[in-house]
Amino acid sequence: MSERWCSGCGQMFSPRPQSPRQAYCSTKSCQVARKLLWQKTKRKSDHDYAENQKKAAAAWTQRNPEHWQRARSARKQAQDQAGESASQLFTRLIVSLLRLFEYASSQLKGTESNHPGESPIPLHCEITIAQAGEPPVSVTMRVELDFKRHKSSPKAPQETT
């Protein structure tokens, strides 16, 4: 049997001989995606299935009323112990850089030049954030501010034929 592309991950795989129309490979994440798609389609097409799923979810919620509060507090406690995540650290770093460049550009607004051919004003910035027990993270940015004056568009729209 020939190989085909997985609808989940996009990798090539050999379908099982017992399932000639197999569209997903056997990896766990692709099988989860396949099942979620099946459930979504089934809920839209089968009213009884959708009602049974709602009843089952409501019954589970009634049996486990504090599940989500416990899960949230456990996740928060794990984050507090681990400190700031890498994505949170990177986001904070980028926000700091953007604020710095916004401030710098506001300070340079009055320095626009009327000399044709003059190059834009470069701004360089390097920020390093160090966290206890972690190697420091550095980001260097270069932004060029160009204060060239552009001709404004005509005030009244012009007709074209």
Predicted local confidence at residue 112, as pLDDT: 52
17 phi and psi angles, rounded to 5 deg: -60, -30
Domain count, the chain: 2
Task: Please name the residue ranges forming H helices in 8-121.
Answer: 28-45, 47-63, 67-82, 86-108
Predicted local confidence at residue 161, as pLDDT: 46
> Does residue 157 fall inside a structural domain?
no
* Highest-confidence segment of 1-10, 15-24, 78-87: 15-24
Predicted local confidence at residue 98, as pLDDT: 76
Residues 57, 96: one domain?
Answer: no
Predicted local confidence at residue 94, as pLDDT: 76
> Does residue 28 fall inside a structural domain?
yes
- Cα-based distances in Å from 87 to 36, 95, 128, 137: 28, 12, 15, 12
Domain carrying residue 123: 86-110+119-145
> Does residue 13 fall inside a structural domain?
yes
Residues 28, 61: one domain?
Answer: yes
> Does residue 79 fall inside a structural domain?
no
Of residues 150 and 19, the one with the higher pLDDT is 19
Residues 59, 102: one domain?
Answer: no
Of residues 80 and 19, the one with the higher pLDDT is 19
64-115 pLDDT, tens digit per residue, is 999 999 999 988 887 777 666 666 777 777 787 778 777 776 766 655 554 5
Residues 15, 60: one domain?
Answer: yes
User: Average pLDDT of 45-58?
Assistant: 95
Residue 32: strand, helix, or coil = helix
> Does residue 131 fall inside a structural domain?
yes
Q: How many CB atoms lie within 10 A of CB 22?
A: 18
> Does residue 24 fall inside a structural domain?
yes
> Does residue 99 fall inside a structural domain?
yes
Residues 16, 51: one domain?
Answer: yes
> Does residue 77 fall inside a structural domain?
no
110-130 pLDDT, tens digit per residue, is 555 545 555 566 666 677 767
